[in-house]
Structure 1
Amino acid sequence: MSSPTNTTASSGDDFGTNSWLVEEMYERYRDNPAAVSEQWREFFSDYKPGDVPKDAPVAPTNGTGASRGATTAAASSGTRGVDDTFPMRRPANIVPTQEVVAPAPAALTAPSEPEPIRGVGAAIATNMERSLAVPTATSVRQIPAKLLEVNRRVINGYRSRTGQTKVSFTHLIGYAVVRAIVDAVPNMKNVFVADADGKPQLQRHTNVNIGLAVDVDKGGGQRTLVVPVLKGADTLDFLGFVNAYDDIIRKVRTNKLTVDDFQGANVSLTNPGTIGTNQSVPRLMVGQGVIVGVGSIDYPAEFEGSDERALNQLGVSKVVTVTSTYDHRIIQGAESGLFLKAIHDLLLGEHGFYEGIFRSLGVPYEAVKWRVDSNDLEGADLQAHKQMQVATLIRVHRVRGHLIADLDPLRWKTPRMPRELDPLTYGLTIWDLDREFATGGVGGVQRSTLGALLGVLRDAYCRTIGVEYMHIQNTDEQRWMQQQVEGHADNFTPEPMVILERLNAAEAFERFLATKYVGTKRFGLEGAESAIPILDAILNAAADNALDGAVVGMAHRGRLNVLANVVGKSLEHLFGEFEGHVDPHAVQGSGDVKYHLGASGKFQARSGALLPIELASNPSHLETVDPIVLGTVRAMQDQIEPAGAFSVLPLLVHGDAAFAGQGVVAECLAMSDTSGYRVGGTIHLVINNQIGFTTSPEYAHSSQYCTDVAKSVGAPIFHVNGDDPEACVRVAKLAFAYRQTFHKDVVIDMVCYRRHGHNEGDDPSYTQPLMYKAIAERRSVRKLYLESLVKRGTVTVEDAERILADYQAKLQSALDETRAQARATTKVPPPPKPVGVLPHVNTGVERGVLDRVFAAMNRYPDGFTVHPKLLRQFEGRSAMYENEGEVDWATAEALAFGSLVLEGSPVRLAGEDCRRGTFSQRHAVLVDYTNETKYAPLANLGTGAAKFWVYDSLLSEYAAMGFEYGYAHANPAALVMWEAQFGDFV
């Protein structure tokens, strides 16, 4: 049996529509080989111009040649082109006026003599002639474009806000074409070939290699067509398809297409709709199975003169006409029809088409869904009902809009649309988006289309800022907030260079310490650098408002960065603490850690105004500093006249787990508006890195947010995405304005991440492998913001890097000066001798019991993937136990727990991060490295064993310890333990 004829690299036949371009490149190569790229030179080394079959068929006339001749003759005979079958009659009552004499016609120029078509034109003509040998048929389908338009608007709104390029209709339709072939009618990618004897054969293709017809303006009124090929389109998700498509178009525009870019198409896509063509039946080139033509997106012609508002009321959609011109030798009409139906279904959102696109692009919202319209034009009751539903939708966005806000920089959880925020819940569909409704003044207008109204509401509550304020009882405060965020009464104008400079300083400081003091604990701010622009914006506003001072309280996370970049602590002094230059006679002595020390200074606003600022020393235990700061501020305010001016600003920085877990936070909120403790409102900044040491949010608090405790006193809460520094600065200014207007507490919940472990030596991937995989792939907020500013044209990369280099040079100079100083020596007293307090008790068990427990510790469920680093540790543990008969502390503890469980005594262990262990030593619960499923070996000791429970508690001591005491009292048979994490947490 003969095999299909192969096309060699030296033949122009494989290029189809692009053959003219090959001829043109060859002419350039022949004149000057250096004028083309090395790849083209290699291609032309054995190229034979005009290498096409000499017996290529020409178009059959079917009598049309005679018809054309007859038409030409008639047109040149001077006969008037008027149909006189029904002669026109002149009305009798019309009085003839003066005869209008038409101007004499201009002299006609005879056409030129026929001339040969050469070069590019000849190649195109040959291709078109050859295409006539392909017996084609065409299927046509008109598809509603409403959902396509709406989802594209959502996609491009998001991409515009994040500084990305727009997605075109051709991107979306082209991807639908590919998916329709792959998932519905794979035969569309096959092609007809003939073997050496001319016998017909079918060639099946695994991949969809789609040729993209691109119109090229050659200047001088000349246009031409190139069809580069996007290979393996079926292997790409939507983002990959868009990137590959755009890369090809970029090559076309910059004239950088290579030989390979023109070869291998088995499907083609042409979109003459971009120039207004409604429908196209393009030519199918030899070597392809189908070419898809896409028309313009517009209302059907019969509605072209209609009022668009009337069309919106009627629910008339714009449409796009898609044609499938296919090789009828291998593809049947039914298959072509099913292919177009598949495209139709996809563009109407079937089979999760738009959901997959949103997921691929990282759009943090659910895709809009297709629904049939319901709009009785004569039914007043229905219109009134819809109006009421719109009012409900407005209120629900004010109350619950934050639930769909784009708050998580990692976006590692699938976005969900709560029913109460979905317009479909209220009977409002995509058809209502262009219909007008009363708004009640939202956005400063009384009437608006539903689409515009939703735009205002979602810009206010559902972008990278989510606001909770409808729990506030005071309606004046509610209205104030609505005016600020819905109508942009705050008139926020970002200062990009200021923000970039602050981010530069924040990131450079952490990178500098990480480089110069490798492995040293510093509890860095990486992942939460936007906290520095937030604090800067608040203090800048406080200075411009002539406040008398600010007192800041915070724990260890980011404290050194705040000292250096906000409070203005001397860099030499700070580096001296890393070098060991500590004054032993200072109040705190020589033993306190550098990330607990305080400082005071003067903050200078950009206007030149100065604000005294103090960062209180941290009393080691989380959130203990909060009431100390409030007491300090009240004392300062009581010494300032007039009383009640609240001219000293308290500013507290919290961790997410501590804000929810530490009872002292709730106590401070409870005292915030009482006469003896009032300070005129505290601004709380929660650095929400979505983890507490190793404890995930679902174990750290029972509420939706870590900040829900603040609702108890009616404090507004601004949730903001930490990777949007402009949004962070905006909420900082709004929070300060609210505090100054109402003298109440206000909370900023900055959702971010922690790039490293709890400290720089900790590995968090033992317990959160998926989160830290996402973090490892995430670029820093400074780089992301710089990229967006470069795209906007606000700054160049060179300028930004120069600013960064200047700050790094400042740090290096301070370090050099510090290291030039002599280090003070201190004498540390020896530790006291240990004293025993309990008599010896024999607690030993049989070796067989220990072996059974140890075997269970090294047994995992089928398909469970242990963390690679942990697996190596366990292998070392096994070698030590089996060969040397020795165990470390953590293994001894596990053996003791296991032996008790086998003896029938239940064991319950709870505390902060105790499943893994504070020092990564216990690993009582293992986390699958690939999917984060959990497994506790000691809870699976087999038949007859008692229960073993181990829990990460919320970040609480007093309540958590009391709970375990109550549990132990009610279950004396169990060993109940509460682990004090660092020993000082009691």
Structure 2
Amino acid sequence: ELDFGNFWSSYEALVKKARAGALSVEDFSGTTVSLTNPGTLGTVHSVPRLVTGQGLILGVGAMDYPAEFQGASQETIADLAISKVITLTSTYDHRIIQGAQSGDFLKKIHEILLGADSFYEEIFAALRIPYVPITWHNDIPEGKEQLNKAARLQQLIQAYRTSGHLMADTDPLEYKQRSHPDLDVITHGLTLWDLDREIATGGFGGRPFAKMRNVLGILRDSYCRSIGIEYMYIDSPEERKWIQSQVEVGSPFFPREEQLRILRKLNSAEAFETFLHTKFVGQKRFSLEGGESVIPILDAIARYAAKAKLDEVCIGMPHRGRLNVLANVAGKNYGQIFQEFEGHYQENEVQGSGDVKYHLGTYGDFITESGDQTKIYLAANPSHLEAVNPVLEGIVRAKQDKKNVRDIYTVLPVLIHGDAAFAGQGVVSETLNMSQLRGYRTGGTIHVVINNQVGFTTSPDSARTSRYCTDIAKMIQAPVFHVNGDDPEACVRVARVAFEYRQSFNKDVIIDMVCYRRRGHNEGDEPSFTQPRMYKLIDAKRSTRVLYAEALVGRGDITQDESNEIAKEFQGQLEAIFNMVHDKLPEQPEFNKLEELDPLTANTAISEEIARKIAATQIAIPDGFKVHPKLAPQLQRRISMLDDGTIDWSGGEMLALGSLLLEGHSVRLAGQDVGRGTFSNRHAVIRDYENGSEWIPLRELISGSTHLFVIDSLLSEYAALGFEYGYSLEREDALVLWEAQFGDFANGAQTIIDEFISSSLQKWGERSSLVMLLPHGYEGQGPDHSSGRIERFLSLAAENNMTIAQPSSASSYFHLLRWHVKNPARRPLIVFEPKSMLRLKAAAAQLSDFTSGTFTPVLSDPAINGASKVVLCSGKIYWELVSERAKRSDNTTAIIRLEQLYPLAINQILAELSKSPNAKLIWVQDEPANQGPWPFISSNLQEALGARTLTKISRKSAASPATGSIYIHEQEQKTLIAEVFAS
């Protein structure tokens, strides 16, 4: 049974033979029906004569308007709903066919020509036209009770703008006809009779009037071909009109040079993957095969960025296609990648464990044919999908802040996603939510989703509830461009519109490139176990490069010889490079190992003059500014506490931040409620009591390009901490702090802590000096408001990867922050802050503690000599022990504070313990025995103690950090303290 496509092919073959005089007897064998078409000569009606052997002749006359209307204008014909007609005749052998049968036969043809039996739908399907035809309906007149045609056309235009994406041909794998009731002309009171009528358009297409056929053509070209667009949910009329001006232009012309560049980029993408697959059989590389069009997309974005004089394009992406992007966009040396496949890494890339090649980042220069130039940065990332998103945004924001130009965004962030991860990972929505926040905006990010329609083995119907994987982006009113990955010209067109949208509105924009994954999740995976039908289609499919090359040759845009030459040239380059580096070690560039600054010798003190200058900012109230009546005395006290020796924790922090600002270091403090402070302690940002305007006193100390940012973050830990980590990578000169509302909540960002903060130096050679401030303390507030999980951070501590501290006084905290900034060996600092101790008078400091001294990792107990018992502890419990010792008039128990828990200052600890060689040694902590510092202390200090034994006093091991009962907490605390002093 022939479908229309096969019928058409057979028909054309017969016509070709007839014109060549090559028809043979076999061509007529078994035929009893003849088709004659005198209409091609203009004959309206013919009655042919049967000859021997013919059962029926179907005569087809000319297709034209009825004779009485042939003098009418096209406008009149359209207005009257006059159609062209065709006369069919049936000449039959009455011995075989009855007259009634002939009449029924002609009636059936008439019905089919009007669309019966899905005739046109089958033709469209056979020709792989991805739409349903406009069907036959009687004309709908404009009555008094009905909308006029212009209003109906406006409804149709709006419907296509809103829902045209539902009919877009964006799936490269499978053909299907797409339709939607909202896009059917009959839904809007229009019919096929309106196609050639001139209707008022409201300015659509730049014309006041147009035939509906032309309007419909533009709408389909704009919204329903290889690109589907979602944007009508955007509130801004300006943005909607801008998008319409960019896309409602039909199919744009691509110059030959652009086509050749696209083809070369596709070729380099495909050849690179094929080369790796051949040379390094079985090695994981998470290939881009099936999604190669992302290379022309990124290439186009980089070209537009260079032409627009942007300083840099910063890319964050997962492992899928990463090697291809490294090589063909970011400019990483092919030879270096080949050497990494052979197990050879340059020593400056990593400092410890290193990482797999598809996690590494790079820097490069991008130069266009015209000489325009921009830098390319590809961020390193772990296997944890989407975790790099906020990190990259932080990097970009830091790069922009360093330029010290307000609202000029010359660094472009580009984030590449997978479809399953974009829909499934919550950090995506957290990062999107940041995009327009004052403390986080980067001028708009271009998001590119490599939508290969599968997540490892999971199909979309199991991966998301939403229609599209990109639906989450609608929450920030970002336009979404869905594009068929097998149409690389459409992909590049979308890249241009996305880039210009970002430049025009400084907002995020989404490209959803629908493609497929040629192989399994990795090169050793068999995908047909879980997607058998999909992979039958994929296995039978030619590559995007082959399809595009065939299209260019078929259209006459390039010759077959040019196509063949482009296919060969890159393969030869790869072979030559591989032969040069095969089995050779990479050259090792020189790099300097940064020296550690000893906190005991660091100059972290400030002068009294500087301290008073900093404190004075707290009462330098701007003219007309109304301070809250309850807050004014607290600000005034920040002057008096310098004199009366009651400098509290927030005062010490104020002196640290202020002094660093005066020394030219920028400061960024971010986190939930950090402006005021969770415990109403900081008041770094003050609001006018009457109008809510903002005053940041320490900004009085800024000069030059120095910044002070105090950012109340969104209610997020994961993305918020990731952003600050990224920011700290780029701002080597700055103090970057992130404070958790309570330390307990930091585990909401555990991925950032595990994958970036604790190990980035060892894996990727990245140096971060981020400070994490984690309020921690057992005060009976329950299991979720007591512990910053000291034990977890200490379990990650190794290879000098970070500093973990629990200062017990404002001055210790002050010196710690200043030492951290001055230390050239940049690494993260984890500070377990107090809560009840914030205002503890015993923990207050004298001004002299800030004008002299340094950060001391181990603080001795000068009050006790010849102790019989030495207690080691950290944090607020020190002050409780000191208070209890005073109550008991105990002069035999020495209490030593560990201000720094990692790196553990073992030599200093041993020096202190040697002062009491016969004393009993005790470790005391608030936390349960399986938590807090004890697991780390016991495994790292006991061996150094030799024959001496360190015993612990703590709460018993527990699954939860703390009790939920204030009564039980108080009993536990009393018992714990009493046990320390028991005989």
Q: TM-score range by the shorter chain?
A: 0.5 to 0.7
2:8 is the counterpart of 1:242: yes
Deviation at 1:584, TM superposition (A): 6.0
Letter in 1 for 2:509: V
In 1, the alpha carbon distance for the partners of 2:24 and 2:280 equals: 50
In 1, the alpha carbon distance for the partners of 2:447 and 2:473 equals: 10
Question: Which residue of 67, 77, 92 maps to 1:311?
Answer: 77
Give the match for residue 696 of structure 1: 459
Deviation at 1:573, TM superposition (A): 0.6
2:203 is the counterpart of 1:437: no
Residue 639 of structure 1 aligns to a residue whose secondary structure is helix
Question: Which residue of 185, 188, 192 maps to 1:423?
Answer: 185
Give the match for residue 371 of structure 2: 608
Question: Which residue of 202, 216, 221 maps to 1:459?
Answer: 221
Question: Contact 1:490 / 1:734 at 8 angstroms: preserved in 2?
Answer: no
Q: For the structure 1 residues 472 and 588, does the alpha-carbon distance in structure 2 shift closer, same or farther, using more than 3 Å as the test? A: farther
In 1, the alpha carbon distance for the partners of 2:551 and 2:144 equals: 49
Letter in 2 for 1:479: K
Letter in 2 for 1:456: I
In 1, the alpha carbon distance for the partners of 2:305 and 2:261 equals: 17
> Per-residue displacement from partner, 1:178-204 (whole Å, max 9, x unpaired)?
xxxxxxxxxxxxxxxxxxxxxxxxxxx
Q: For the structure 1 residues 820 and 593, does the alpha-carbon distance in structure 2 shift closer, same or farther, using more than 3 Å as the test? A: closer
Question: Contact 1:528 / 1:687 at 8 angstroms: preserved in 2?
Answer: yes
In 1, the alpha carbon distance for the partners of 2:217 and 2:446 equals: 30
Deviation at 1:364, TM superposition (A): 1.0
Question: Contact 2:221 / 2:250 at 8 angstroms: preserved in 1?
Answer: no
Question: Contact 2:168 / 2:178 at 8 angstroms: preserved in 1?
Answer: no
Question: Contact 1:294 / 1:322 at 8 angstroms: preserved in 2?
Answer: yes
Residue 362 of structure 1 aligns to a residue whose secondary structure is coil
Give the match for residue 119 of structure 2: 353
In 2, the alpha carbon distance for the partners of 1:702 and 1:286 equals: 67
> Per-residue displacement from partner, 1:859-911 (whole Å, max 9, x unpaired)?
xxxxxxxxxxxxxxxxxxxxxxxxxxxxxxxxxxxxxxxxxxxxxxxxxxxxx
In 2, the alpha carbon distance for the partners of 1:498 and 1:583 equals: 32
In 2, the alpha carbon distance for the partners of 1:588 and 1:297 equals: 80
In 2, the alpha carbon distance for the partners of 1:358 and 1:605 equals: 43
Deviation at 1:367, TM superposition (A): 2.1
In 1, the alpha carbon distance for the partners of 2:224 and 2:168 equals: 4
Question: Contact 2:150 / 2:201 at 8 angstroms: preserved in 1?
Answer: no
Question: Contact 1:364 / 1:411 at 8 angstroms: preserved in 2?
Answer: no
Give the match for residue 490 of structure 2: 727
Deviation at 1:264, TM superposition (A): 3.7
Structure 1 residues 20-99: aligned runs within 5 Å = none
In 2, the alpha carbon distance for the partners of 1:521 and 1:598 equals: 17
Aligned residues: 591
Letter in 1 for 2:367: Q
Give the match for residue 971 of structure 1: none
Give the match for residue 233 of structure 2: 471
In 2, the alpha carbon distance for the partners of 1:803 and 1:267 equals: 51
Structure 1 residues 514-525: aligned runs within 5 Å = 514-525=277-288
Give the match for residue 277 of structure 1: 43
Letter in 1 for 2:73: D
In 1, the alpha carbon distance for the partners of 2:332 and 2:18 equals: 56
> Per-residue displacement from partner, 1:649-684 (whole Å, max 9, x unpaired)?
101110011111111111111011111111100000
Gaps of 5+ in 1: 1-234, 826-955, 959-983
2:541 is the counterpart of 1:778: yes
Residue 331 of structure 1 aligns to a residue whose secondary structure is coil
> Per-residue displacement from partner, 1:314-363 (whole Å, max 9, x unpaired)?
11111111122222221111121111112111111111111122222221
Q: For the structure 1 residues 406 and 699, does the alpha-carbon distance in structure 2 shift closer, same or farther, using more than 3 Å as the test? A: same
Deviation at 1:957, TM superposition (A): 12
2:106 is the counterpart of 1:344: no
Question: Contact 2:330 / 2:366 at 8 angstroms: preserved in 1?
Answer: yes
Question: Contact 1:292 / 1:322 at 8 angstroms: preserved in 2?
Answer: yes
Question: Contact 1:685 / 1:748 at 8 angstroms: preserved in 2?
Answer: yes
Question: Which residue of 576, 580, 585 maps to 2:343?
Answer: 580
Give the match for residue 684 of structure 1: 447
Question: Which residue of 324, 347, 359 maps to 1:596?
Answer: 359
Question: Which residue of 731, 751, 755 maps to 2:514?
Answer: 751
In 2, the alpha carbon distance for the partners of 1:260 and 1:817 equals: 63
Residue 313 of structure 2 aligns to a residue whose secondary structure is strand
In 2, the alpha carbon distance for the partners of 1:594 and 1:614 equals: 16
Residue 567 of structure 1 aligns to a residue whose secondary structure is coil
Deviation at 1:236, TM superposition (A): 1.2
Letter in 1 for 2:53: G
2:305 is the counterpart of 1:542: yes
Q: For the structure 1 residues 712 and 493, does the alpha-carbon distance in structure 2 shift closer, same or farther, using more than 3 Å as the test? A: farther
In 2, the alpha carbon distance for the partners of 1:801 and 1:489 equals: 27
Q: For the structure 1 residues 449 and 419, does the alpha-carbon distance in structure 2 shift closer, same or farther, using more than 3 Å as the test? A: same
In 2, the alpha carbon distance for the partners of 1:250 and 1:776 equals: 35
In 2, the alpha carbon distance for the partners of 1:267 and 1:615 equals: 69
Question: Which residue of 428, 431, 442 maps to 1:665?
Answer: 428
In 2, the alpha carbon distance for the partners of 1:523 and 1:603 equals: 24
In 2, the alpha carbon distance for the partners of 1:465 and 1:957 equals: 39
Question: Contact 2:228 / 2:482 at 8 angstroms: preserved in 1?
Answer: yes
Residue 748 of structure 1 aligns to a residue whose secondary structure is strand
Deviation at 1:416, TM superposition (A): 3.8
In 1, the alpha carbon distance for the partners of 2:472 and 2:104 equals: 57
Q: For the structure 1 residues 479 and 778, does the alpha-carbon distance in structure 2 shift closer, same or farther, using more than 3 Å as the test? A: same
Give the match for residue 407 of structure 1: 170
Structure 1 residues 104-119: aligned runs within 5 Å = none
Deviation at 1:397, TM superposition (A): 1.3
Comparing 367-376 with 618-627, greater Cα deviation is found at 367-376
In 2, the alpha carbon distance for the partners of 1:602 and 1:498 equals: 18
Give the match for residue 173 of structure 1: none
Structure 1 residues 161-560: aligned runs within 5 Å = 235-253=1-19, 260-375=26-141, 379-382=143-146, 384-412=147-175, 414-487=176-249, 495-560=258-323
In 2, the alpha carbon distance for the partners of 1:417 and 1:437 equals: 24
Q: For the structure 1 residues 490 and 635, does the alpha-carbon distance in structure 2 shift closer, same or farther, using more than 3 Å as the test? A: farther
In 1, the alpha carbon distance for the partners of 2:250 and 2:72 equals: 36
Question: Contact 1:582 / 1:824 at 8 angstroms: preserved in 2?
Answer: no
Q: For the structure 1 residues 409 and 957, does the alpha-carbon distance in structure 2 shift closer, same or farther, using more than 3 Å as the test? A: farther
Give the match for residue 558 of structure 2: 795
Question: Contact 1:484 / 1:490 at 8 angstroms: preserved in 2?
Answer: no
Give the match for residue 819 of structure 1: 582
TM-score by length of 1: 0.58
2:324 is the counterpart of 1:561: yes
Give the match for residue 438 of structure 2: 675
Question: Which residue of 745, 755, 763 maps to 2:526?
Answer: 763
Residue 329 of structure 2 aligns to a residue whose secondary structure is helix
Letter in 1 for 2:123: I
> Per-residue displacement from partner, 1:924-980 (whole Å, max 9, x unpaired)?
xxxxxxxxxxxxxxxxxxxxxxxxxxxxxxxx999xxxxxxxxxxxxxxxxxxxxxx
In 2, the alpha carbon distance for the partners of 1:615 and 1:739 equals: 20
Deviation at 1:762, TM superposition (A): 1.8
Letter in 1 for 2:228: G
State the percentage of identical aligned residues: 56
Deviation at 1:816, TM superposition (A): 1.2
Letter in 1 for 2:296: P
Letter in 1 for 2:483: V
Q: For the structure 1 residues 515 and 270, does the alpha-carbon distance in structure 2 shift closer, same or farther, using more than 3 Å as the test? A: farther
Deviation at 1:724, TM superposition (A): 0.9
In 1, the alpha carbon distance for the partners of 2:348 and 2:556 equals: 53
In 2, the alpha carbon distance for the partners of 1:422 and 1:359 equals: 18
Question: Contact 1:408 / 1:752 at 8 angstroms: preserved in 2?
Answer: yes
In 1, the alpha carbon distance for the partners of 2:114 and 2:156 equals: 25
Deviation at 1:248, TM superposition (A): 3.0
Deviation at 1:625, TM superposition (A): 0.8
